[in-house]
Structure 1
Amino acid sequence: MRILSIQSSVAYGHVGNSAAVFPLQRIGIEVMPVATVQFSNHTGYGSWRGPMMSGEDVREIVMGIEERGGLAEVDAVLSGYQGGDSIGDAILDAVERVKHHSPEAIYACDPVLGNAKSGCHVAPEVQNLIRDRVVPRADLITPNQFELGFITGTSPDTLESTLASVDAARALGPSTVLVTSLERPDRAEGTIEMLAATGEGAWIVSTPLLPFKVNGSGDVTAALFTAHFRRSGDAADALARTTASVFALLERTYAAGARELRLVEAQEAYAHPDLRFEARQVR
């Protein structure tokens, strides 16, 4: 199995490709990482060093892979944060090139826009890019609860309204939606949920809510769910496996009191997830 992953890259810590690539490799996926930035660290630290790539840089790298025959037998294109039209165009061009050589490939997009606490933290250009041009081209999207509402112009809150928002998202183009960081008012106290939906149904899984926030966990979630779902075609199984792996990663990171994901230390949780969280069908 082969994935073309077009995301940011950092030398210190784990976000973007620096979070997604190793877990994918640990479960046996051949990954071709293409960097959209090459920073010293993620921007949450307030300062960083290193260059941003242009859309033309990304396009050139993908074309070079194509010239080596590397876009044949690709199973998925994965993208995360998109800094503007230039990068967005390059990613959509890469999706088109991959699907020309690998018609069964899917495009999995993590539509990074913001969150419920801080709101939308990307420029209007990026908001329009994601909502109007990228999401309609995607086969799989992995928004958080806030991003799902922003994309669809809805207010997902209860299970029923979240399912309605998922239907609205699927009507835009993606056949599969994974909603991360779902916090319903009627959920069990001290828990957080994820919900996966396809044309065949919808499933929800609940885990304890750990009292901290760490960058990069969404990138790991999107990567593992994409790989598991592409491999099996079973959304419930992909949801259960992804949840088990990511919770174990977060649990280890929280226990260490670390600011950065304990990505390497948690590697057995990717290869051999403890399937202790049931994916319950809700539709």
Structure 2
Amino acid sequence: MKILSIQSAVAYGHVGNSAAVFPLQRIGVEVLPVYTVNFSNHTGYGAWRGPLISPDDVAAVITGIEERGVFPQIDVVLSGYQGGEGIGDVILDAVARIKAANPSAIYACDPVMGNAKSGCFVAPAIPVLLRDRVVPQADLITPNQFELGYLTDTSPDTLESTLASVDLVRASGPRTVLVTSVERPDREEGTIEMIAVDDAGAWIVQTPLIPMKANGSGDVTAALFTAHYRRTGDAADALARTTSSVFDLLERTHASGERELQLVESQEAYANPRLQFTVHQVR
């Protein structure tokens, strides 16, 4: 499997491609990383150095890959945080060209906008761009519960309302949806859930809530779920494997006391997930 991953990169820490590439490689995926920024560290520190990469330069890198004759071999285009409006056009153009070269390729979009605690943390134009132009072109999306609400102009909280919101966004284009950071009012205290939905059904998994903010964990989640799902076409299996790997990554990171994900130290959790959490079909 080959994945073209168009995301940010940092020298210190693990977000964007700096979070997604290694776990994908560890499960046997060939990754072609294309960077949209090259920062010293993620912006959560409040200070960073390094350049935003212009949409024209990102497009040039993708064209160079095309000129090597690789497009027919690419199985997935994966995108995450979009720092500006121009990069959306570059991504959609790349998706169209790759699908023309390989009609079985899919586009997986992590529509990064914000979260329930922080609200939106992207430029005001980005959520509109994602909702109106990018998400409808995706085959698979991985929003958190907050982002799902924005994409559908709803307020999902219960299982029923979250599934209804998923149905709305699926009607707009993407057939497969992974909803992360699901916090239902009636869930067991100290837990958090994820829900995966495709044409075959809907599944939910619950884990203990690890009390920490982990920049980059969503990027790892999107990458692993996309790869597992593309490989098997089984949403329940992809959900189980991804949940196991990410939980063990977060548990190890929390225990370390470090702010940055313990990405390399947790590599066995990607290659051989323990599958310690039960996935339940809810529809």
Q: What CA distance in whole angstroms lies between the structure 1 residues aligned with 2:200 and 2:26?
A: 29
Counterpart position of 1:54: 54
- Matched ranges for 1:5-84 at <5 A: 5-84=5-84
Contact 1:40 1:49 in 2 (8 A): yes
1: distance between equivalents of 2:211 and 2:123?
A: 29
Distance 1:228 1:58 in 2: 27
Q: Percent identity of the aligned residues?
A: 75
Q: Which residue of 1 aligns with 2:128?
A: 128
Helix, strand or coil at the partner of 1:169 = helix
For 2:238, the equivalent position in structure 1 comes to: 238
Distance 2:202 2:255 in 1: 32
C-alpha distance in structure 2 between counterparts of 1:123 and 1:272, whole Å: 38
Query: How big is each residue's C-alpha offset from its partner over 1:181-238, in whole Å with a ceiling of 9 and x where there is no partner?
Result: 1000111111000000001100000000011111000000000000000000000000
Q: Which runs of 5+ in 1 are unaligned?
A: none
1:118 positional shift: 1.5
Counterpart residue type for residue 277 of structure 2: F
Query: Is residue 213 from structure 1 mapped to residue 199 from structure 2 by the alignment?
Result: no
Q: Which amino acid in the other structure matches residue 175 of structure 2?
A: S
> C-alpha distance in 2, partners of 1:121/1:26?
31
How far the C-alpha of 1:281 sits from its partner, in A, is 0.2
Cα distance between partner residues in 2 of 1:121 and 1:14 = 18
The SS at the match of 1:72 is: helix
Deviation at residue 97 of structure 1 after TM alignment: 1.2
**Partner of 1:160: helix, strand, or coil?**
helix
Query: Please, which runs of 5 or more residues in structure 2 have no aligned partner?
Result: none
Moved segments of 4+, more than 4 Å: none
| Correspondence 1:190-209 to 2 at 5 A | 190-209=190-209
Distance 2:202 2:73 in 1: 29
Give distance in 1, aligned partners of 2:125 and 2:55: 15
- Report the secondary structure of 1:132's partner residue: helix
1:162 aligns with 2:165: no
Aligned-partner Cα distance in 1 for 2:117–2:252: 25
Q: Distance in 1 between matches of 2:52 and 2:97?
A: 23
Matched AA of 2:268: E
The Cα offsets for residues 121-141 of structure 1, whole Å up to 9 and x where unpaired, read as 222211111110000000000
Deviation (angstroms), 1:100: 1.1
**Amino acid paired to 1:69:** G
Which amino acid is 1:137 matched to?
Q
| 1:227-256 alpha-carbon deviations (Å, 9 max, x no partner) | 000000000000000000000000000000
Aligned to 1:180: 180
Which residue identity lines up with residue 142 of structure 1 in the other structure?
A: T
Q: Distance in 2 between matches of 1:113 and 1:137?
A: 17
Separation in 1 of the partners of 2:80 and 2:131?
A: 14
**Retained in 2: the 8 A contact 1:84–1:129?**
no
Question: Alpha-carbon deviation of 1:154?
Answer: 0.7
Q: Give the counterpart letter for 2:234 in structure 1.
A: D
**Letter of the 2:272 counterpart:** H
TM-score, normalisation: structure 2: 0.99
Query: Is the aligned partner of 1:87 residue 2:87?
Result: yes
For residues 50 and 123 of structure 2, the distance between their equivalents in structure 1, rounded to whole angstroms, comes to 21
Shift of 1:54: 1.0
C-alpha separation in 1, matches of 2:18 and 2:6: 11
1:249 aligned residue = 249
Residue 6 of structure 1 deviates from its aligned partner by: 0.1
Query: Equivalents in 2 of 1:31, 1:240: separation in Å?
Result: 22
The one-letter code sitting in structure 2 at the alignment partner of 1:57 is D
- Distance in 2 between residues matched to 1:19 and 1:94, nearest whole Å: 22
User: Could you tell me how far 1:7 is from its partner in structure 2?
Assistant: 0.1
In structure 2, what is the Cα distance between the partners aligned to 1:142 and 1:84?
19
The alignment status of 1:116 with 2:108, answered yes or no, reads no
